[in-house]
Amino acid sequence: MSNFPMSKPYTILLQGVISAESASFFQKAVASVGGYSEVVFDFSQVIRINSMGIALLLKTLRELRYLNKKVAIFGANKMTMMLFKMMGVTQHATILDAPSPSAQTPNRNGFIRTSLA
């Protein structure tokens, strides 16, 4: 775990269960980051993520890195973090111990609040 210096990251809040049904959410997330150079995925409200959800997340992380975005993950529970380590998610995103101050108070344009359940 490390610090991830961000002045104004684009924060994406994920909620519920992340699975194959989450594909359109991840597509919208990639399309919505626009001119932001830093993206934080907030997993603090995720109940669980299955293997298809991890595959979608990995695809999304690769797409964002291809677009030269710095990507971080915050708030994943212990089980999810263990899956992320086993599946290689941690090789594609920085894991935050705590959100940056700007990520704690995201602005309207930099915050997606959508349930994936």
In tens digits, the chain (117 residues) has pLDDT values of 444 444 578 999 999 999 999 999 999 999 999 889 999 999 999 999 999 999 999 999 999 999 999 999 999 999 999 999 999 999 999 998 765 544 444 444 444 443 333
Query: Cβ of 5: how many Cβ atoms within 10 Å?
Result: 9
Residue 65 lies in a domain: yes
What percent helix, strand, coil does the chain show, rounded to 5? 40, 30, 30
In a domain, 2, yes or no: no
Full-model pTM: 0.78
Give the domain CATH number at 53: 3.30.750.24
Q: Is the residue at 58 inside a domain? A: yes
| Any domain includes 83 | yes
Question: Containing domain of residue 41, as a range?
Answer: 10-113
